[in-house]
């Protein structure tokens, strides 16, 4: 993964943060090698990383504070590559080279002070605004959107999110910088319906869900580039999940399949 200088990005271009919720590194890497994700493959290989948490809620609190997934071989906090550096936490005396030092409690708060519109398009229930807990993450953004067609049980959820984003994006001021976070939940359970005839979730349906997401990301990148002229993209998972490994199922547990996630960042600058 090539390092970037966030001072060349913040304030100068849109930032698109895509979290493919629950995506396992081993599945993402296998689909990359097999050519199952041609859109994401255009932007370089996945980096094998440590998840910030073992389920959505703790992981996103960490990521929104600047602690994105870090390489699996990082052994000390000081070795993390930080794109966003939280000034108030006392992490280091000096801002890491290439990092954007932000004030406030979240990267969104810092970017708002740089003139960004911060926008969230939710997926899983932690973003649905239908409960007190479901209002926490949306409340970090200037604008937040969710509707039932984006939810996990809806087979077309990612397509619905992309359609919604592109429609709203077309009406936005092209001169106003945007930070958009999208919680993509197609890979999250249930995902069995992405393979015809399947009745339960498995590694195979997990992979099929990722292939579906990849196709919709192609539409998102094309549309964003046509409307906005490009963006810096952060794409990762917040945690993985288990399908019976060592007797473990789903996530919220500290199993390697949960704690090992894919990460990459890249630029989109023209229609694909």
Q: Rounded to an integer, what distance in angstroms lies between the CA atom of residue 48 and that of residue 25?
A: 6
Distance CA 115, CA 73 (A): 36
Is there a contact between 248 and 238 (Cβ–Cβ < 8 Å)?
no
pLDDT at 92: 63
pLDDT of residue 242: 96
Query: Which domains does the chain show, CATH number per domain?
Result: 7-69+106-268 (3.40.720.10)
Task: Report mean pLDDT in 10-residue bins for the chain, 272 residues.
Answer: 80 96 97 97 96 95 94 80 83 78 93 96 94 96 97 96 96 94 97 95 97 97 92 97 90 91 90 36
pLDDT at 80: 81
Return the residue matching tokens 């948490």. 53
Count H helices and E strands in the chain, helices first: 7, 12
Q: What pLDDT is attached to residue 90? A: 65
Question: What tokens does 178 get?
Answer: 């945007």
- State the Cα–Cα distance between residues 216 and 236, nearest whole angstrom: 16
What angle do the packed helices 25-34 and 203-228 form, to 10 degrees? 70
Q: State whether residue 267 is helix, strand or coil.
A: strand
Which 3 state secondary structure label does DSSP give 219? Answer: helix
Beta partners for residue 17, in sequence order: 181, 234
Do 128 and 151 contact (CB within 8 A), yes or no?
yes
Residue 213: how many CB atoms within 10 A of its CB? 25
pLDDT at 119: 98
d(CA 146, CA 260): 28
104: number of Cβ within 10 Å: 16
Structure tokens at 106: 């979240």
Helix (H) or strand (E) holding 11: none
CA atoms within 13 A on the CB side of 157: 30
Distance CA 59, CA 65 (A): 10
Place of tokens 């993402």: 28
Element (DSSP H or E) covering residue 17: strand 15-20
241: left (phi over 0), alpha (psi -120 to 50) or beta: beta
pTM of this prediction exceeds 0.85: yes
CB 65 within 8 A of CB 247: no
Phi first, then psi: what are they for 32, rounded to 5°? -60, -50
CA–CA gap between residue 180 and residue 11 (Å, rounded): 14
């Amino acid at each position: 993964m090539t390092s970037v200088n966030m001072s060349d990005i913040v304030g100068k271009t849109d930032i698109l943060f895509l979290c493919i919720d629950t995506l396992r590194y081993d599945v993402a890497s296998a689909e990359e090698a097999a050519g199952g994700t041609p859109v994401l493959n255009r932007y370089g290989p996945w980096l094998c990383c440590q998840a910030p948490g073992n389920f959505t809620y703790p992981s996103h609190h960490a990521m929104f504070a600047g602690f994105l997934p870090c390489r699996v071989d990082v052994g000390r906090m000081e070795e993390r590559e930080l794109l966003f550096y939280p000034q108030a936490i006392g992490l280091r005396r000096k801002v890491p080279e290439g990092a954007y030092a932000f004030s406030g409690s979240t990267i969104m708060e810092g970017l708002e002070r740089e003139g960004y519109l911060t926008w969230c398009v939710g997926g899983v229930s932690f973003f649905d605004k239908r409960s007190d807990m479901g209002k926490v993450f949306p409340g970090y953004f200037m604008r937040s959107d969710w509707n039932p067609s984006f939810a996990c049980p809806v087979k077309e959820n990612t397509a619905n999110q992309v359609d919604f984003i592109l429609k709203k994006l077309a009406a936005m001021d092209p001169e106003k910088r945007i930070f958009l976070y999208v919680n993509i939940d197609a890979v999250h359970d249930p995902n069995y319906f992405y393979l015809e005839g399947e009745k339960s979730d498995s590694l195979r349906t997990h992979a099929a869900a990722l292939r579906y997401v990849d196709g919709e990301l192609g539409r998102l990148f094309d549309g964003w580039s046509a409307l906005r002229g490009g963006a810096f993209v952060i794409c990762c998972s917040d945690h993985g999940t288990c399908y019976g490994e060592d007797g473990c199922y789903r996530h919220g547990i500290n199993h390697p399949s949960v704690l090992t996630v894919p990460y990459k960042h890249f630029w989109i600058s023209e229609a694909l």
